[in-house]
């Protein structure tokens, strides 16, 4: 099983270039950076809990991952997750393709519909239509990346004909992972996804997704699961159920503490991959 790191990059943590270099040097395969453009005052998490500082101070993931690309050679560079419904689809197509070009084809593009309704509204997005909007955006992205001249006409996305370069290095485009574990997210994995990136998941969920993908003739879809460093038996169960990658969440702390924690997680990674 592949082992990666997921975290927030912020103005209070290790710079993303230094972080990525440290992650690669310790043998991890991938780095996923979360995205929030801002946090409306009074926001709480999906479970109603108070949000940590990282939610308010996260760096733009594409700029941060560009810095990460400049300091690494092999590390896969992922969003985890990009809030696509809050983004302009044409700008996002260019940003992802540019990062893929500059990194030599190392981008993993993970997207989600999001959960903070006030954040969406600040971007002019109706939370009630975010799922339908995301579906159209995913279809539109694929057209922009794979055609010299692209057009799209939908209820929420409309453009064209347009020309947009650069095209991604990866063919036909960077892998698109779908974040979330709802029924809609699972359906989206089958229809649009090259990977699944749930935050809450069980081994039975993984087996169920594998069976669903097989029933629809989908092969090669990557399943990424969250890893608990204190429950390695569960990580092994995920692997047996059909998961391809496990990611350890790196808490946002100071520079020295981040490096110490990466050392600890690297030791866990070695135990998992023996």
Question: Is 84 in a helix, a strand, or coil?
Answer: helix
147-157 average pLDDT score:
98
Where does the pLDDT of residue 167 fall: very low under 50, low under 70, confident under 90, or very high at 90 and above?
very high
Average pLDDT, the chain: 96
Where does the pLDDT of residue 254 fall: very low under 50, low under 70, confident under 90, or very high at 90 and above?
confident
What pLDDT score does 208 carry?
97
**Which residue segment(s) compose the domain that 115 sits in?**
2-273
Condensed to tens digits (0 to 9), the pLDDT of residues 184-236 reads 999 999 999 999 999 999 999 999 999 999 999 999 999 999 999 999 999 99
104 Rama class: left (phi>0) / alpha (psi -120 to 50) / beta: left
Polymer length in residues for the chain: 274
Task: Find, among 128, 153, 126, the residue nearest to 139 by Cα.
Answer: 153
Does residue 274 surpass a pLDDT of 80?
A: no
What's the token pair of residue 264?
Answer: 């600890």
What pLDDT score does 28 carry?
98
Rounded-to-10 torsion of CA 187, 193, 195, 199? -50
Condensed to tens digits (0 to 9), the pLDDT of residues 36-76 reads 999 999 999 988 899 999 999 999 999 999 999 999 999 99
* Cross-strand partners of 76: 30
CATH code, 62: 3.20.20.30
Measured distance CA(262)–CA(188) in Å, rounded? 33
What pLDDT score does 204 carry?
98
Condensed to tens digits (0 to 9), the pLDDT of residues 237-248 reads 999 999 999 999
CA 234 from centre of chain: 22
What pLDDT score does 273 carry?
85
Cis peptide before 172 (omega within 30 of 0): yes
Cis peptide before 161 (omega within 30 of 0): yes
Measured distance CA(143)–CA(108) in Å, rounded? 18
Does residue 116 surpass a pLDDT of 80?
A: yes
The tally of domains found in the chain comes to 1
């Amino acid at each position: 099983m592949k082992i990666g790191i997921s975290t927030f990059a912020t103005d209070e943590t290790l710079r993303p270039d230094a972080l990525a270099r440290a992650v690669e040097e310790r043998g991890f395969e991938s780095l996923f950076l979360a995205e929030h453009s801002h946090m409306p005052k009074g926001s709480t998490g999906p479970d109603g809990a108070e949000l940590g500082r990282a939610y308010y101070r996260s760096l733009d993931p594409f700029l941060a991952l560009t810095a990460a690309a400049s300091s690494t050679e092999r590390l896969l560079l992922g969003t985890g997750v990009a809030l696509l419904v809050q983004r302009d689809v044409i700008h996002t197509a260019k940003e992802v393709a540019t990062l893929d070009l500059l990194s030599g084809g190392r981008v993993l593009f993970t997207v989600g519909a999001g959960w903070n309704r006030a954040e969406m509204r600040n971007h002019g997005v109706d939370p009630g239509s975010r799922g339908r909007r995301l579906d159209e955006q995913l279809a539109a992205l694929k057209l922009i990346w794979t055609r010299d001249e692209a057009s799209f006409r939908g209820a929420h996305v409309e453009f064209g004909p347009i020309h947009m370069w650069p095209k991604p290095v990866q063919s036909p485009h960077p892998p698109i992972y779908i974040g979330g574990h709802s029924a809609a997210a699972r359906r989206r994995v089958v229809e649009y996804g090259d990977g699944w990136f749930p935050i809450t998941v069980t081994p039975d969920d993984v087996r169920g997704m594998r069976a669903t993908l097989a029933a629809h003739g989908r092969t090669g879809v990557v399943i990424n699961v969250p890893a608990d460093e204190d429950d390695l038996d569960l990580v092994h169960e995920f692997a047996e159920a059909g998961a391809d990658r496990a990611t350890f969440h790196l808490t946002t702390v100071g520079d020295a503490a981040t490096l110490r924690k990466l050392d600890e997680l690297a030791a866990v990674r070695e135990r998992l991959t023996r």
